[in-house]
Amino acid sequence: MKLIHVKQARSVWLFDVSDLNPKGRDFAAELVGWIKDRYSFVVTPDVKEVLSKAGTGNASGLIFKQGRFHTPEDSFIEISSLAIHSDGIVVDTTSSTQESDRIIADLLSAAAKEFGLAYDPQIVRKRLYVSTIIVKSEMALGTIHAGLTAFAERVSAALGNGPAPSFQLAGIAFWTEPNDNGVHKTFTLMPQAGKSFSEHRFYSEAPLQTDDHFRLLEDLERVLMHP
């Protein structure tokens, strides 16, 4: 299996953001400008608009887009978006969730020094991840079960007279039971949309760190190719 590219590597750190500012100091405008400069964001939030919607149910948080992180190794990581909400921080990159974690950690530690924030890593009560990657593999999902292959042929035949497109089993999904909000965690694998089966390109999404996601896909490849 080969990693083609990372489409999304999302890290979510959940904590009460107000804990960073126990005395309620007003420095939102300065913070936005500092974040813009530190990470070279092209799109920055309108602080007045965000504050005017606070507590109305329409608040979207402070959302920055199209930035980059200068790593200690002297390389740059593209930041698709960075969002600061009342209940945590969300960062999307196209690198890895590990890099997204590193960006959040850098933001919190550097902002704590710059603005005197009361940051302690222990305030983070949970970390969540979304990993979406494109991989290449020789595994053929259509050969998992002969009965499913025959059923796919019946689907093609059911389309009626004339040339019928050939259907194949095209995806595998693993779901959890829904949580209290009716949301499932899912691990999915399917052919990449718009690509022919012969290209052997697959789209996969999982609620995991990027590296763990790819390792599990390698395990699945071994299961399917060497049952």
Out of 99, 128, 157, a domain closes at 128
Out of 67, 101, 128, a domain closes at 128
Please state, for a pLDDT cut of 70, what percent of the chain lies above it.
Answer: 96
pLDDT band at 212; cut points 50, 70, 90: very high
Q: What is the mean pLDDT of the chain?
A: 92
CB of 176 closer than 8 Å to CB of 185: yes
Residue (of 78, 89, 83) closest to 40 by Cα position: 78
* Cα distance from N-terminal residue to C-terminal residue, the chain: 17
pLDDT band at 9; cut points 50, 70, 90: very high
Residue (of 192, 125, 132, 187) closest to 10 by Cα position: 132
| pLDDT tens-digit readout, 168-209 | 888 999 999 999 999 999 999 999 999 999 999 999 999 999
Q: Is there a single domain that holds both residue 153 and residue 124?
A: no
pLDDT band at 40; cut points 50, 70, 90: very high
| pLDDT tens-digit readout, 138-159 | 988 878 888 998 998 899 888 8
| pLDDT for res 227 | 62
Domain count, the chain: 2
| pLDDT for res 172 | 94
What is the distance between the alpha carbons of residues 160 and 145, in angstroms, rounded to a whole number? Answer: 25
Q: Is there a single domain that holds both residue 15 and residue 124?
A: yes
Q: Is the pTM of this model over 0.85?
A: yes
Average pLDDT over every residue of 72-79: 94
Q: Is there a single domain that holds both residue 155 and residue 179?
A: yes
Q: Which residue has the tokens 């990581």?
A: 77
Q: Is there a single domain that holds both residue 107 and residue 149?
A: no
| pLDDT for res 24 | 87
Domain that holds residue 147: 137-225
Q: Is there a single domain that holds both residue 66 and residue 151?
A: no
Does residue 54 sit within a domain?
A: yes
| pLDDT tens-digit readout, 105-132 | 999 999 999 999 999 999 999 999 999 9
- Residue 34 exposure: Cα atoms within 13 Å on the Cβ side: 13
DSSP label of 167: P
Does residue 5 sit within a domain?
A: no
Average pLDDT over every residue of 37-60: 78
